[in-house]
Structure 1
Amino acid sequence: MFPFKMFSTTLGLKNHFFSNKSLLSLSLKNIRQPKIASFKSNVQLLQSNFIPIRGYIKETIYQSTRDSPFKRSNTWKNYNQFYNRSNWDKLKKPFLFTVAFCVVTTLVTPYVYDYTPFAYFKRHPQHLLWSIIGINAAVFFMWRIPRLQWFTMKYGILFKDNIQSSWSLLGSAFSHQSFAHFFINMLAFQSFGSTLVTYLGVANFTAMYLNAAVISSFASLAIPMFLGSSLSVASLGASGAIFSVFGTFAYLFPAAPVGLFFIPVPGGAWVLFLGTALWNAAGTVLRWGTFDYAAHLGGSIIGVAYGYWYTRKRKEQLRRRRVWS
């Protein structure tokens, strides 16, 4: 290209039979044509080399968009359109059940431990803990009895897209299908619950645990719905209620030494709790794995709220005792 440009310029200077306009046109024509041809050939070469890369980038972007954790699922929308209902129509019954259950449990539980044979647990609070573990173990074995699977399928698992019974919000919190799931949950429950049941008393502990079980199940329904996550899954397990136990324990005993898989955590219970709360919040938004992070997060919030409420209540009781004394 460079030699041709010099030749065209020299021709224009020596030939006086061409006008300046003709010379300019000739010079530009001779200069531009090779440039355009070369440019096109370079572009074509670049495109031919870029096609595999472009295809890879396009596929990567498509997969990232398709699998993005922030992509809203159409599962709930499709179900609502099919049944001609709104999100509130789907949540209304579980919400009313949750509110009614929590009110009744909070009001009735103290009387149950005062005026029924359950008063035995007031003298032996640790036995209440093992009784709850025993109930979870019984449901675990019920899953293995074919004749009882109609019961566990209706009350022992929470089908988010088609709730079999409102009582499954409670029953699913006492239900485990795998031994590893059952063992880890009960180990964590016994670790934090053994101290908490003695400190709170059996009535307060029972009300907190049962209410947290139902509320965490409701959170498992409500939070994914508002985030647009897929609800074509089912959940079960006591982890939502156990995170409530852990949250209450961490609030009341923030500096208590704890370990993660027997590894000491610097800062104590409150640091570990905050770490798990952030992990559950991120898992809820980003939809990691198959854990029910929404239930964990709901249970954690209830645990801290109950710890705060109990602290206020205890301070008020101490203040009144000082006034009367």
Structure 2
Amino acid sequence: MLGIRSSLTLIPKLPVRQFGLINTPLKSQTLRKFIHTKNTNVGIRSIRNELIFKRRFMNTSVKHPKWDNNIFYADSSDRYTRLNRFQQFNNSGSNGKDNSVRNATIVGLASMVGIYFGSPYLFDYVPVFSYFKTHPKSFVYALLGANFAVYGLWQLPRCWGFMQRYMLLQKSRIPSYWSIIGSAFSHQEFWHLGMNMLALWSFGTSIATMLGTANFFSLYMNSAIAGSLFSLWYPRIARMALMGPSLGASGALFGVLGCFSYLVPQAQILLFVFPIPGGAWIAFLGSVAWNAAGCALRWGSFDYAAHLGGSAIGVLYGWYISNQVEKRRQERFERETRWLR
């Protein structure tokens, strides 16, 4: 789990990474307001965003045969005691299923492809989602509500069996493929939820307006899935003992940061009140180096692999979007200059 507390400000008259916009296939009218032609600078209103996102391991044993009332009534100030109590429920709910990491990877990759190609149709033709197509900020608020709802379910003892099965990414065994997605919406402690949701609210509203709702949804969900898959594979590739289960939205949030940093590399990022030299792209590369070091040195209880997975998808989206916009710009230039030939 990574905790980064910083502020992000888009500087007025900030040139975007040398690409323009003409009839972009991204189906986002709002993107035209942010991405401009190669030789033109467009003023962008100043936005201050607090980036605080984390995904953490739960250093606890999983699945005990019965409830332990001593843990349930333990001192709430003990963080690990509070986490332990969520793990203790009857094992009969798993039905003996233990889905392999390979199968989970196949399901995850298939889901990513389906989300990428299905998102435009989802927000064009499904009534509930079509509303968010013209209200991207409302979609971010819906994501906030979903995360708060999942947090509320963690507070109900009768739901702990369901939550561990579908909302917790376990490394030793995978009782449900849905945990690949569900864990990205799951937070067991309020401070964890609060910091991640503050980042989603302040930063997500900007990038959702920039890309359009369908593309933001695709970016967010695929970054979350990639983060979960990286988290599953890392201990096996590194040949290390399987770590505790993990949860949190930071994989998705690192994907959002990666995409934004690629598209607007010179945007100023503030760490607390101190500006980071070099802008958003340098700050993002610094976070990648920090997460890579965390994986190598294995310090703390943070799920660095999930952060790297989300970051990789974010950069991939940024690269693809920039190339598509540049392609459209070239096509328009050729059409408008054809009569000069």
Is TM more than 0.5 here?
yes
Structure 1 CA distance for aligned equivalents of residues 316 and 203 of structure 2:
17
For 1:50-106, what per-residue CA distance to the aligned partner results, in whole angstroms no more than 9, with x for missing partners?
Answer: xxxxxxxxxxxxxxxxxxxxxxxxxxxxxxxxxxxxxxx932111111111011111
The residue type equivalent to 1:113 in the other structure is F
8 Å CA contact 2:100–2:173 kept in 1: the answer is: no
For 1:232-267, what per-residue CA distance to the aligned partner results, in whole angstroms no more than 9, with x for missing partners?
Answer: 410000011100111111111111111223432222
2:329 counterpart (305, 318, 321): 318
Structure 2 CA distance for aligned equivalents of residues 321 and 119 of structure 1:
29
Displacement of 1:183? 1.2
1:91 and 2:101 are equivalent in the alignment: yes
8 Å CA contact 2:180–2:225 kept in 1: the answer is: yes
1:109 counterpart (90, 100, 119): 119
Give the corresponding residue for 1:236.
247
The residue type equivalent to 2:110 in the other structure is A
% of aligned pairs identical? 46
Give the corresponding residue for 2:157.
146
1:302 counterpart (313, 319, 324): 313
Secondary structure of the equivalent of 2:173? coil
1:285 and 2:290 are equivalent in the alignment: no
Give the corresponding residue for 1:132.
143
8 Å CA contact 2:235–2:243 kept in 1: the answer is: no
Greater relative CO (CA pairs within 8 A, separation 6+):
2
For 1:255-298, what per-residue CA distance to the aligned partner results, in whole angstroms no more than 9, with x for missing partners?
Answer: 11112234322222112111111000000111110000000011
Structure 2 CA distance for aligned equivalents of residues 172 and 138 of structure 1:
13
Give the corresponding residue for 1:223.
234
Give the corresponding residue for 1:174.
185
Structure 2 CA distance for aligned equivalents of residues 305 and 232 of structure 1:
28
The residue type equivalent to 1:102 in the other structure is M
Displacement of 1:322? 3.1
8 Å CA contact 2:171–2:232 kept in 1: the answer is: yes
Displacement of 1:199? 1.2
> TM-score, with normalisation over the residues of structure 1?
0.70
For 1:129-164, what per-residue CA distance to the aligned partner results, in whole angstroms no more than 9, with x for missing partners?
Answer: 111111111101110011222221111100110111
The residue type equivalent to 2:312 in the other structure is I
Structure 2 CA distance for aligned equivalents of residues 288 and 211 of structure 1:
27
Displacement of 1:307? 0.5
Tell me which structure has the larger Cα radius of gyration.
1
Structure 1 CA distance for aligned equivalents of residues 299 and 154 of structure 2:
27
Give the corresponding residue for 1:26.
none
Give the corresponding residue for 1:202.
213
Displacement of 1:230? 2.1
Corresponding residue pairs, total: 237
The residue type equivalent to 2:251 in the other structure is G
> TM-score, with normalisation over the residues of structure 2?
0.67
The residue type equivalent to 2:111 in the other structure is F
8 Å CA contact 1:192–1:249 kept in 2: the answer is: no
Displacement of 1:319? 2.1
For 1:193-220, what per-residue CA distance to the aligned partner results, in whole angstroms no more than 9, with x for missing partners?
Answer: 2221111111111011111111110000
Structure 1 CA distance for aligned equivalents of residues 274 and 175 of structure 2:
41
Displacement of 1:305? 1.2
The residue type equivalent to 1:139 in the other structure is V
Please list every run of 5 or more consecutive structure 1 residues that lacks an aligned counterpart in the other structure. 1-88
Give the corresponding residue for 1:185.
196
1:100 counterpart (100, 104, 110): 110
Structure 1 CA distance for aligned equivalents of residues 274 and 197 of structure 2:
19
Structure 1 CA distance for aligned equivalents of residues 130 and 330 of structure 2:
28
Of the structure 1 ranges 282-291 and 312-321, higher mean CA displacement relative to structure 2 is found in: 312-321
Of the structure 1 ranges 275-284 and 227-236, higher mean CA displacement relative to structure 2 is found in: 227-236
Secondary structure of the equivalent of 2:310? helix
C-alpha RMSD over aligned residues: 1.4
8 Å CA contact 2:227–2:306 kept in 1: the answer is: yes
8 Å CA contact 2:100–2:174 kept in 1: the answer is: no
